[in-house]
């Protein structure tokens, strides 16, 4: 895919309306790269003037801060803020709730003030404005889909409706898990847990969560976070249900349903 970087646009005397913040998962994780491509495909189809930072994008520092390394977080954050402010970036869209939360709520105290939107909210806006047109009798019409609330999107930022409205626009049957919305269960990766050894116990959190998803008898588990996607996919594999149940990001579902 040919996606312009902010540096290329600036050199050409232009500037993007939106910066797509890809994040570490979306850049380096093979599974999450598919989510990045799906979202970029949607933006291209709709004709959004956007760009990425490319090699100038550093980790937001979220895992470092959550794990207690404040010094490393501030170093990363200051470098990102300098880059963003140099380019005069005002509006950022990201497909990662961890990046979304820290850019929106924690960068301001270090001098980084931006309008930050999570990709599910942005997709809902595009659908509401009629910019995203979905196929009649869409790809997922009538399929049972259950949505997993990411902690950093739900409890941390109170975003529950947007992803569900996007899924409802697909004409699918949306089924809620036993624990959902503000009572949702963590996938097991948040708060830098993704990067540390697990503690002793009887059952992994992602397996506990996937049991709840399988109880809904859904064929698709929709996620809106690359970490959640990894954990839920591993959960499905642990139950040997890969053939019957797919874990897909909201952006992938929309990209597959567009005209």
Start and end residues for every CATH 3.40.50.1860 domain found in the chain: 6-123
pLDDT > 70: what percent of the chain?
100
The yes-or-no verdict on residue 195 having pLDDT over 80 is no
Q: Please state, rounded to an integer, the average pLDDT across all residues of the chain.
A: 95
**pTM to 2 decimal places:** 0.94
Domain spanning 134-257: CATH 3.40.50:
yes
Return the CATH number of the domain spanning residue range 6-123: 3.40.50.1860
DSSP state of 135: P
**Which stretch of 169-178, 198-207, 236-245 has the lowest confidence by average pLDDT?**
198-207
The yes-or-no verdict on residue 259 having pLDDT over 90 is no
The yes-or-no verdict on residue 202 having pLDDT over 90 is no
Those residues with Cβ within 8 angstroms of residue 140's Cβ, 6 or more apart along the chain or in another chain: 170, 171, 172, 220, 253, 256, 257
| Higher pLDDT, residue 78 or 200 | 78
The CA-based dihedral angle spanning residues 63, 68, 70, 73, taken in that order and rounded to the nearest 10 degrees = -10
The yes-or-no verdict on residue 137 having pLDDT over 90 is no
Determine the Cα–Cα distance for residues 239 and 234; give it in Å rounded to an integer: 9
* Rg of the Cα atoms in the chain: 18
Determine the Cα–Cα distance for residues 126 and 182; give it in Å rounded to an integer: 25
pLDDT > 90: what percent of the chain?
88
**Contact 18/48 with Cβ under 8 angstroms?**
yes
């Amino acid at each position: 895919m040919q996606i312009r970087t902010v540096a290329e646009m600036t050199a050409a005397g232009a500037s993007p309306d939106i910066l797509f913040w890809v994040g570490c998962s979306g850049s380096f994780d093979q599974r999450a790269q598919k989510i990045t491509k799906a979202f970029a495909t949607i933006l291209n189809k709709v004709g959004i003037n956007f760009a990425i930072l490319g090699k100038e994008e550093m980790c937001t520092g979220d895992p470092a801060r959550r794990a207690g390394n404040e010094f490393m977080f501030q170093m990363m954050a200051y470098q990102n803020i300098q880059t963003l402010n140099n380019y005069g970036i005002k509006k950022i869209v990201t497909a990662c709730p961890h990046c979304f939360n820290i850019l929106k709520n924690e960068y301001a105290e270090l001098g980084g003030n931006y309008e930050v939107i999570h990709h599910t909210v942005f997709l809902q806006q595009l659908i509401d404005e009629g910019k995203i047109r979905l196929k009649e009798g869409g790809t997922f019409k009538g399929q049972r889909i259950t949505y997993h609330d990411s902690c950093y999107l739900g409890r941390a930022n109170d975003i529950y409706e947007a992803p569900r409205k996007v899924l409802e626009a697909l004409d699918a049957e949306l089924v809620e898990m036993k624990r959902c919305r503000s009572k949702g269960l963590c996938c097991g990766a948040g708060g830098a847990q993704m990067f540390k050894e697990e503690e002793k116990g009887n059952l992994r959190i992602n397996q506990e969560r996937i049991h709840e998803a399988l109880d809904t008898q859904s064929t698709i588990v929709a996620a809106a976070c690359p970490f959640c996607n990894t954990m839920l996919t591993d959960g499905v594999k642990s139950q040997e249900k890969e053939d019957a149940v797919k874990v897909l990001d909201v952006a992938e579902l929309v990209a597959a349903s567009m005209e």
